[in-house]
Amino acid sequence: MKILVCISNVPDTTTKIKLVNNNSGYDKTGVQWIINPWDELALTRALLLKEEQGSPITEISVINVGTKDTEPTLRKALAVGADDAIRVDAEAKDAYYVAAQIAEVVKNNGYDIVLCGIESSDYNGSAVGGMLSELLDVPSVSSVSGLFIEDGKVKLNREIDGGTQVLATETPFVAIVQKGIALDPRIPAMRGIMMARKKPLVVLPPADIEALTEYIDYEMPQAKSACKMIDEDNAGDMIRLLHEEAKAI
Amino acid sequence: MEIYCNDEHRLIRSTVREFAEKEIKPIAAELDESEEFSIELTRKMGEIGLFGMVVDPEFGGHGFDVLSYIIAVEELARVDSSQAATVAAHNSLGIGPINEYGTEEQKKKYLPDLCTGEALWGFGLTEPDAGSDSRGTKTKAVLDKGEWVINGSKIFITNAATEITLGSTVQAITGDKDGKKEYSTILLEQNVSGFKAIPMHRKMMWRSSNTAELFFDDCRVPESNLLGKLGEGSKIMLSTLDSGRLSIAAMGLGLAQGAFEMALQYANERKQFGKPIAKFQAIAFKLVDMATKIELARNLLYKACWLKETKQPYAKEAAMSKLYCSEIAKEVADEAVQIHGGYGLMKDYDIERFYRDQRLLQIGEGTSEIQRLVISRYIGC
């Protein structure tokens, strides 16, 4: 059984974003790039599954659609434990473009399970996983917080209002995973970093696909206004400020 | 640092940073307060591979270059000097001499365990009367019936008295040659009869690292425990210290980086006179000076690593790095406390621990004065 984990290369979540080029992009200078946190959890779960005794998982691959700049992120995935990596050599233009590129690779390589993070922490589109399953014409399960293989059967947990839904599905399928799929992302060990040097990182030319959307303009959210702390004994001050400054009453 | 660092160096940095933030930071203050050496944390550091980083995989190591190891130490010290000290001392002083001078047999016997984090090894050089002047060494080793008989004592030996310490490399007088004392280094295992390793407590700094006094009372070890050749002790000691200086420098650099980040964050959050104190030039300029010193220190240290890696002479640059990184650690930690004001004097803030921890760096593995002496000889004084 082969697992493919889709990896998005995103700015570290503490990055301060500065818009450039008439707000059509952001300054990437000095940005620390990481594996999208949900994808990292997906990879961790895949590795745990493979390490189980008698596991049917034989191979874990990771894939990213991106330029050469994303290779350190893929190399980290290899250091964590993925067996091989694929980079589709193209700028990730939009969710459809990425999903369609990955779909081409999946069609040619026959993965049994494809894992996608529920969203990427940069664009938060939540679109690639669903599009990918549609393009592959395979089942997809969203908001997956548990992935198990019992007697060769795949079981998935989904968090729903007030409880957990348990699903079974045949392979191949796409699981769109969220927090809970693994407790903590795995930190690579030095040995893993060393071994990653020799693991294959295959670069594929992009398929001839057109993006459906284009990013035109970004806006920074308004800065949070300062918070005024009022002593609990001075309720009168609060009413005055709500009336005079906030004009809420 | 693009000229010295590649993608793998950056991955090592982010990996060790993540580990240190997750596993060390939450318990560093508590371990410092209780003066506790943590076997569990040492084991975890071993699990991610922080021991034996530059050792050949054939002997259980990971086969990285010097800079990779230095970056790892730097990132540990950015969070906690005690754990950085455990790693730096074990790699540079414990593993280093065995890796550099050990016979094939000695390497095979000791290195695989020492590279796991399950066992530690000390380096016994300093004595009560032999600090900067190692010629004051009194510990003696005499050959008797195919065994070295060792008598004497050592002090301030890192990692030498933990429950997982396997032994120490001991420098001892092994004879006289042309009126000069002849020094050799001998491997001594912890369980040898007549040997005692006593942990030293009530330290001002590095309180959760292990520091020991060693006592040798007719300790007998096989003749084959000689490390390197007879009379090579001074050479082994000097080359070990050259290499060790890089890791102490990394500790200074990492500590300075951590102190700077704390000061910057505090200065942006702390408001006085209606705005964050970072917006006042008096504070901003302090932070600028800190950042500039750190940048210079990193350039110097990484250059020294590059020289070592490319097999060029690096002793001068190693001494300069140790001197400069440890001195800026003092300056940066001092100004970081100043920026924190009264809060910086409280144990609730990590900067208080950093301020204490930096103080060793200008003393250990050659004082700042000895570094200047070493450098002066290289620049033609």
Residue among B91, B100, B350, B354 nearest B204 (CA): B354
pLDDT at A159 over 70: yes
pLDDT digits (tens, 9 = 90+) for A164-211: 999 999 999 999 999 999 999 999 999 999 999 999 999 999 999 999
pLDDT digits (tens, 9 = 90+) for B280-329: 999 999 999 999 999 999 999 999 999 999 999 999 999 999 999 999 99
Query: SS in 3 state form for A19-81?
Result: EECCCCEECCCCCCEEECHHHHHHHHHHHHHHHCCCCCCCEEEEEEEECHHHHHHHHHHHHHC
Q: Which residues of B touch A191 (CB under 8 A)?
A: 49, 62
Q: How far is B39 from B54, CA to CA, in rounded Å?
A: 22
Query: Looking at the complex, does the CB of residue B217 fall below 8 Å from at least one CB of chain A?
Result: no
Contact between chains at B11 and A197 (C-beta distance less than 8 A): no
Q: How far is B6 from A88, CA to CA, in rounded Å?
A: 22
Tokens 């060029």 -> residue:
B312
As a whole number, mean pLDDT of residues A207-219 equals 90
Q: How far is A7 from A193, CA to CA, in rounded Å?
A: 18
Q: Are the beta carbons of B289 and B335 closer than 8 angstroms?
A: yes
pLDDT at A152 over 90: no
SS3 state at A83: coil
Q: Are the beta carbons of B71 and B15 closer than 8 angstroms?
A: no
Residue among B27, B24, B40 nearest B73 (CA): B24
Q: How far is A100 from A111, CA to CA, in rounded Å?
A: 15
Tokens 């070990």 -> residue:
B240
Number of residues that this document lists for chain A: 249
Query: Looking at the complex, does the CB of residue B116 fall below 8 Å from at least one CB of chain A?
Result: no
Residue among B119, B117, B123 nearest B96 (CA): B123
Å between A248 CA and nearest CA of chain B: 25
Which CATH number is correct for A2-219, 3.40.190.10, 3.30.930.10, 3.40.50.620, 1.10.760.10? 3.40.50.620
Compute the mean pLDDT over every residue in chain B, rounded to the nearest whole number. Answer: 96
Contact between chains at A194 and B57 (C-beta distance less than 8 A): yes
Query: Looking at the complex, does the CB of residue B334 fall below 8 Å from at least one CB of chain A?
Result: no
Q: Are the beta carbons of B173 and B181 closer than 8 angstroms?
A: yes
Contact between chains at A187 and B18 (C-beta distance less than 8 A): yes
SS3 state at B358: helix
Contact between chains at B10 and A72 (C-beta distance less than 8 A): yes
Query: Looking at the complex, does the CB of residue B61 fall below 8 Å from at least one CB of chain A?
Result: no
pTM score: 0.90
Number of residues that this document lists for chain B: 381
Q: Are the beta carbons of A33 and A70 closer than 8 angstroms?
A: yes
Tokens 């493919």 -> residue:
A4
CB neighbourhood size of A20 (10 A): 12
Residue A53 structure tokens? 């005794």
User: DSSP string covering B250-285, please?
Assistant: HHHHHHHHHHHHHHHHHHHH-EETTEEGGGSHHHHH
pLDDT at B125: 92
Per-residue pLDDT of chain B (381 residues; tens, 9 = 90+): 578 999 999 999 999 999 999 999 999 999 999 999 999 999 999 999 999 999 999 999 999 999 999 999 999 999 999 999 999 999 999 999 999 999 999 999 999 999 999 999 999 999 999 888 877 899 999 999 999 999 999 999 999 999 999 999 999 999 988 888 999 999 999 999 999 999 999 999 999 999 999 999 999 999 999 999 999 998 998 889 888 899 999 999 999 999 999 999 999 999 999 999 999 999 999 999 999 999 999 999 999 999 999 999 999 999 999 999 999 999 999 999 999 999 999 999 999 999 999 999 999 989 999 999 999 999 999
What single letter denotes the amino acid at residue B16?
V
Q: How far is A65 from A177, CA to CA, in rounded Å?
A: 19
- Active site members of B: 365
Instruction: Give the residue extent of every domain in chain A.
Output: 2-219
Q: Which residues of B209-229 are buried (b: 16+ CB within 10 A; e: fewer)?
A: bbbbbbbbeebbbeeebbbbe
Q: Which residues of A touch B48 (CB under 8 A)?
A: 187-190
Q: How far is A43 from A3, CA to CA, in rounded Å?
A: 9
Residue B259 structure tokens? 């102190």
- Considering only the beta carbons, identify the residue of B7, B47, B63 that sits closest to A189: B47
Query: Looking at the complex, does the CB of residue B21 fall below 8 Å from at least one CB of chain A?
Result: no
Q: How far is A69 from B226, CA to CA, in rounded Å?
A: 50
pLDDT at A241 over 90: no
Tokens 């996983």 -> residue:
A129
Residue among B55, B54, B62, B67 nearest B5 (CA): B67
Between A31 and B196, the higher pLDDT residue: B196
Contact between chains at B50 and A191 (C-beta distance less than 8 A): no
Å between B7 CA and nearest CA of chain A: 6
pLDDT at A122: 85
Q: How far is A98 from A211, CA to CA, in rounded Å?
A: 9
pLDDT at A48 over 70: yes
SS3 state at B143: strand
- Sequence-ordered list of residues with C-beta below 8 angstroms from that of B182, at least 6 positions apart, any chain: B173, B174, B175, B176, B230, B231, B233
Å between A201 CA and nearest CA of chain B: 14
Å between B168 CA and nearest CA of chain A: 25
Contact between chains at B22 and A187 (C-beta distance less than 8 A): yes
Contacts across the A-B interface (CB distance below 8 Å):
46
pLDDT at B1: 56
pLDDT digits (tens, 9 = 90+) for B54-102: 999 999 999 999 999 999 999 999 999 999 999 999 999 999 999 999 9
Q: Could you tell me which chain B residue has the CA closest to the CA of A72?
A: B7
Structural domains in chain B, sorted by start: 7-120 (1.10.540.10), 121-231 (2.40.110.10), 235-378 (1.20.140.10)
Contact between chains at B48 and A190 (C-beta distance less than 8 A): yes
Contact between chains at A72 and B64 (C-beta distance less than 8 A): no
SS3 state at A199: coil
Q: Which residues of A61-81 are buried (b: 16+ CB within 10 A; e: fewer)?
A: bbbbbbeeebbbbbbbbbbbb
pLDDT at A246 over 90: no
